[in-house]
Amino acid sequence: MTQPLAGKIAIVAGATRGAGRQIAVQLGAAGATVYATGRSTRAGRSEMDRPETIEETAELVTEAGGTGIAVQVDHLVPEQVRDLVARIDAEQGRLDVLVNDIWGGDPLVTWEKPVWEQPLDAGFRTLRLAIDTHIITSHFALPLLISKPGGLVVEMGDGTKAYNDDNYRLSLFYDLAKVSVNRLAFSQAHELKPHGCTAVALTPGWIRSEAMLEHFGVTEDNWRDGAATDPNFLISETPAFVGRAVAALAADEDKARWNGQSVDAGTLSKVYGFTDLDGSQPEGFRYITEVVDAGKPADVTGYR
């Protein structure tokens, strides 16, 4: 198997589970050395209180053909991020890919309630997890990334700019968090361009994370049974799909064409030709816009 990212060094910040884990794995499958960061380790769980750990992620990266290195980091603590980057500089002398996938806000979000009914402490904590973590990480990592041209920053969010500009996203705090991530990519693109580096905002479609599978009471083997709860679940995709999107971007010699843009995994799959694990190319956000939001009956024909 070809490994177009052999010799490349990546940070996947927020790699414990979900999209972050599979982004790390797919970068590894392409040959990269991946520093997988997060708060949950085999020694203890984060406030998410879930069983996935960064050690497991690093092992999956290595099994996929790369080199996985687990580093416990709270990306709200500047000193920990500074030390992470200093370690990578000492061990590798370069950084080629930074994926800002830190989130962890799901337990804090109060859905579909106006701001005057939102708990402020939880709301501001959500913004810190979604925005401050990304800024802190870029602050320390980008000086190493720009030391060589061709570097890539991927800001992971929920919803493209086009979609989020036109749609209210569940609550004021969640809406602000997801809009902000797209803007972070735009701003960093402007700052990175003179250094020959690229920043892109990327979103999956309806992702079948570990938590989502549990919510629907299914496994990856029988995930289609989730359609009994919501028939639109048939458009969902594995986290590997967006992981392959990141790997394709990182390997693209002409990645600068995406600088400052906001894209989804389905769109990139048509450009680069990668598929989900089942060989399909689900276009999640096109489906959400044209079917779900339009109030049409669930039918994924022509969307995957």
Distance CA 81, CA 103 (A): 15
Label residues 245-277 b or e (16+ Cβ within 10 Å = b).
bbbbbbbbeebbebbbbbbbbbbbbeeeebebe
pLDDT, tens digit (0-9, with 9 covering 90-100), for 88-131: 999 999 999 999 999 988 889 888 899 999 999 999 999 999 99
pLDDT, tens digit (0-9, with 9 covering 90-100), for 151-208: 999 999 999 999 999 999 999 999 999 999 999 999 999 999 999 999 999 999 999 9
Q: What is the pLDDT of residue 212?
A: 96
For residues 87 and 141, the answer to whether their CB atoms sit within 8 Å is: no
* For range 251-272, the mean pLDDT: 98
Confidence of residue 5 (pLDDT cuts 50, 70, 90): very high
pLDDT, tens digit (0-9, with 9 covering 90-100), for 52-80: 999 999 999 999 999 999 999 999 999 99
Place of tokens 């750990």: 53
Place of tokens 């990139």: 268
Distance CA 258, CA 245 (A): 12
Q: What is the pLDDT of residue 48?
A: 87
Q: What Rg value do the Cα atoms of the chain yield, rounded?
A: 18
Distance CA 198, CA 261 (A): 10
Instruction: Calculate the alpha carbon distances from 6 to 70, 156, 199, 293 in Å.
Output: 19, 23, 21, 42
- Could you tell me which residues come within 8 angstroms of residue 143 by beta carbon, excluding any fewer than 6 positions away? none
Confidence of residue 148 (pLDDT cuts 50, 70, 90): very high
For residues 34 and 27, the answer to whether their CB atoms sit within 8 Å is: yes
Q: What is the pLDDT of residue 1?
A: 64
- Burial (Cβ within 10 Å: 0-12, 13-18, ≥19) of residue 153: buried
Distance CA 130, CA 200 (A): 16
Q: What is the pLDDT of residue 2?
A: 86
Place of tokens 């992702």: 207
- Could you tell me which residues come within 8 angstroms of residue 86 by beta carbon, excluding any fewer than 6 positions away? none
